[in-house]
Structure formats: C-alpha cells, structure tokens
Amino acid sequence: MKLPSIRAIRPAKAAAVLAVVAGAIFASVLPSSADVSAQSPSQSGIRVQSPAERLARGAAVRVETTVVCAPGSYAYVNVRLTQRVGPGIASGGASTQVSNCTGSLQSVFLSVHAEEHPFRAGTAFASAYLSGPYPGSVTDDREIAIVNP
C-alpha cells in the first residue's frame, strides 16, 4: 500500500486531521483541570421573565426576574420597563437588593410603577441589571408581555 506524501494532502483534509489531533490533545488535558471550576466563584446572571402582571389598572407592573449571584454575597437588581401607549410612552423603574445569594437560581419580584402614562396589556421592553461584588454586573434586555391578572 502506497501512502501519499504530505504535499499531496489537500488543505481541507489537513485541517480536518489537525482538528482531530488538537481535540485529542485538549481532551487529554481537560480532566486534569476539572477541579479548577469547583474552586472558581459562580457566574452572575439575570433574566427578565415574561409575562409580567399589570396591577392597579396599569399604575404598576409586577415583574419577575431570575438571578444567580455568588453564594454568601449580595446583589442589586434594577429593572426598567418602557411601553408605547398611543402617542406616548409608559415607563418606570424599580430596584431591590438580594441580601443572601445562594449561587443557584433565585426569583426576585419587583413592582415597577408607571411614571407618566399607565401600562397596558401588551408588549413592553424590559432592561434588567444585576450588580454586586465579584464577578461584576450583567444585563438582560428583551421584549416581554404585560398581562391583566
């Protein structure tokens, strides 16, 4: 059986072989670094949940956020809602402190009060911000639904 010379191998084939070799090397090193992640602090995260509940005929909206922050630490949650209401804009913001982070998913509820126009059932834009000690701050921006109770 005659093997082709290295020069005769096509670049795509060479790249595939190189990727397999690199993957094998990476896989052999990976188990030795597995306990590093156990020592690292957990990552922070926030997500605005949809739908949010309209309260007092639109004077406020109850927004649920799901947060993750380092165990034993604290964090601040800020939420801002904006919604087109006819020719105007309904908006408002709220914040609270999570005083005992667990390192796993925690639900945090905030009441966002309307500033000029009442909120209506429909689509709104939500911006959430989680800040605290290491590892810093994270944000989540998304459209959510506002529903009547």
Residue 3 confidence (pLDDT) = 55
Q: Where are the domains of the chain?
A: 6-39, 45-147
pLDDT above 90 covers what percent of the chain?
61
Residue 132: the pLDDT is: 85
Residue 1 has what pLDDT? 55
Q: What is the pLDDT of residues 44-96, one digit of tens each?
A: 899 999 999 999 999 999 999 999 998 988 999 999 999 999 999 999 999 99
Q: For all residues of the chain together, what is the average pLDDT?
A: 82
> Is CATH 2.60.40.10 the classification given to domain 45-147?
yes
Q: Look up the pTM and report it.
A: 0.70
Q: How confident is the model at residue 110 (pLDDT cuts 50, 70, 90)?
A: very high
Q: Is 37 helix (H, G, I), strand (E, B) or coil?
A: helix
Long-range contact set of residues 46-50: C-beta below 8 Å, sequence gap at least 24: 46/77, 46/128, 46/129, 46/130, 46/138, 46/139, 46/140, 47/128, 47/140, 48/79, 48/126, 48/128, 48/140, 48/142, 48/144, 49/107, 49/144, 50/142, 50/143, 50/144, 50/145
Which of these ranges, 25-29, 105-109, 110-114, 131-135, has the smallest mean pLDDT?
25-29
Tracing tokens 């630490």 back to the chain, one arrives at: 73
Which pLDDT belongs to residue 43?
A: 78
Share of the chain above pLDDT 70, in %: 70
Please give the residue that has the higher pLDDT: either 132 or 120: 120
CA dihedral sign, ordered 60, 61, 62, 65: negative
Q: Per-residue DSSP letters for 45-102?
A: EEEE-S-EEEEGGGTEEEEEEEEE--TT--EEEEEEEEEEETTEEEEEEEEEEE-S--
**Does residue 37 register a pLDDT over 60?**
no
Q: Tell me the sheet residues that pair with 93.
A: 80
